[in-house]
């Protein structure tokens, strides 16, 4: 915990805060994952720096592989989609026709971003598609399970 706080203090992202897990509502997880990606390189560097003396730091540094990034980028995208949907349904006045329309839009978004159809490949969401483009990954590079 102390090392994470130290990374936070030394990071160029001074507006980020490290919270205890109990301080984070599940609807905020999209923001948590996005903020995590802003500091992950600093965390990874600190883990590598301590990996010679600390087996846990070595294990964590080794765990930050491509599959980890793919999973967390996907998580940021899907949680962002779910968060948008929840915010719509938390408004003071929601009609049945609006609900049907919003659900249809969410289904289309999830299908286009994460599933695809027989006619088109999935878009993979903003974070994951950007990561895939930056690292020259294709859909065949994604984990299947």
Q: Are 115 and 53 contained in the same domain?
A: no
Identify each DSSP E strand in 18-120 by its residue range: none
Q: Are residues 53 and 101 in the same domain?
A: no
User: What average pLDDT does the segment 113-135 reach?
Assistant: 88
Using DSSP, state whether 51 is helix, strand or coil: coil
Q: Which of 64, 96, 119 is the last residue of a domain?
A: 64
For 36, the domain range is 1-64
pLDDT at 18 over 70: no
Distance CA 120, CA 118 (A): 6
What is the rounded CA–CA span in Å between residue 115 and residue 31?
Answer: 23
90 and 74 in a common domain? yes
pLDDT in tens, 72-105: 999 888 888 888 777 777 777 777 677 788 888 8
pLDDT of residue 8: 62
CB 81 within 8 A of CB 125: yes
Instruction: Provide mean pLDDT across the span 14-41.
Output: 69
Mean pLDDT score of the chain, rounded to an integer? Answer: 81
Q: Are residues 24 and 51 in the same domain?
A: yes
Q: d(Cα 50, Cα 127) in Å, to the nearest integer?
A: 29
């Amino acid at each position: 915990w102390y090392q994470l706080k130290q990374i936070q203090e030394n990071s160029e992202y001074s507006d980020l805060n490290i919270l205890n897990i109990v301080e984070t509502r599940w609807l905020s997880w999209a923001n948590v994952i996005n903020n995590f990606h802003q500091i992950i390189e600093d965390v990874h560097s600190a883990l590598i720096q301590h990996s010679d003396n600390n087996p846990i730091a070595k294990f964590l540094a080794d765990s930050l592989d491509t599959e980890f990034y793919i999973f967390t980028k996907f998580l940021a995208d899907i949680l962002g989609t779910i968060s948008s949907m929840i915010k719509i349904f938390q408004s003071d006045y929601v009609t049945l026709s609006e609900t049907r329309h919003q659900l249809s839009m969410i289904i289309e978004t999830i299908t286009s971003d994460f599933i695809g159809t027989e006619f088109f490949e999935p878009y993979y969401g903003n974070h994951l598609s950007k990561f895939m483009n930056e690292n020259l990954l294709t859909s065949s590079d994604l984990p299947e399970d």
